[in-house]
Amino acid sequence: MTVIDVNEADFDTEVVQRSAELPVVVDFWAPWCGPCRQLGPVLEKAAGAREGAVVLAKIDTDENPSIAQRFGIQGIPAVKAFRDGEVVAEFVGAQGPSQVEAFFDGLVPSETQLLLEAGDEASLRKVIEKEPANVAANFALGRLLYRSGDADGALDRLRDAAGSFGADGLAARIELERSNGEHPRIPDAFGKLDAGDPEGGLDILLDELAAAEGDNKERLRKVIVGVLDELGVEHPLARESRRRLAQALY
């Protein structure tokens, strides 16, 4: 059973001992707690998606105060994950579905997460078949299709990766590569990026952005933002590149 109710009498058996076999996530809650009622179905959905690879144990703190005291519960909802009898992860307060999924993925990856980690075309298409709007899968598949030479297929997938700077940047790159040669240095910039030289590639793109107009200016902005997003804010190039980006735009 994926979801069970536990109490003070069976807590050690159902949670502590069972966690030697598979992870057990404990939901400390109470009937009067509004955030608990919001979080409960989210936890149950995440546990159910892992098909018996993790157990969700629910314990009413009002009816089982000694367990709440034993584990230092001061506010609810409180969630603790047990493995081999020890608490290995926890959070307090209501969380959204994406945060809860990430919490469970740290214990037992979902089928979707495993397919995303596999990263091959067949696996990514399985994710999209189940979750057509999955941003990570659409972006990853779009990137695979682009690298294989299927730019049209890539654009189809990238349109379903709304909100991803990387996806927007790759779509803009494809559009720039199809332009009529207004920016002859851009292929050299893309070549440097592909060769592992982000500094050289960004330098050219930022120069071209400063001189660009209209649609191409917006496309160049998206490409640059996508590259910076992939590098991360801590990358040495980030601060100077963002300064030049702002300067070219404003």
Please identify which residue in the block is written with the tokens 């990570």.
136
CA 217 to CA 209: how far, in whole Å?
Answer: 6
Write out the catalytic residue numbers: 33, 36
CA 148 to CA 167: how far, in whole Å?
Answer: 16
Instruction: Report the SS3 class of residue 70.
Output: helix
Distances (CA, A) of 18 to 3, 85, 105, 125: 13, 8, 19, 36
Q: How many residues does the chain have?
A: 250
CA 216 to CA 213: how far, in whole Å?
Answer: 6
| 201 contact partners, CB below 8 Å, separation of at least 6 | 189, 190, 191, 192, 193, 227
CA-angle at 90, arms to 39 and 234, nearest 5° = 105
Q: Which among 67, 91, 63 has a CA at the least distance from the CA of 11? A: 67
**On the CB side of 224, how many CA atoms lie within 13 Å of its CA?**
30
Query: Are the C-beta atoms of 201 and 186 separated by less than 8 Å?
Result: no
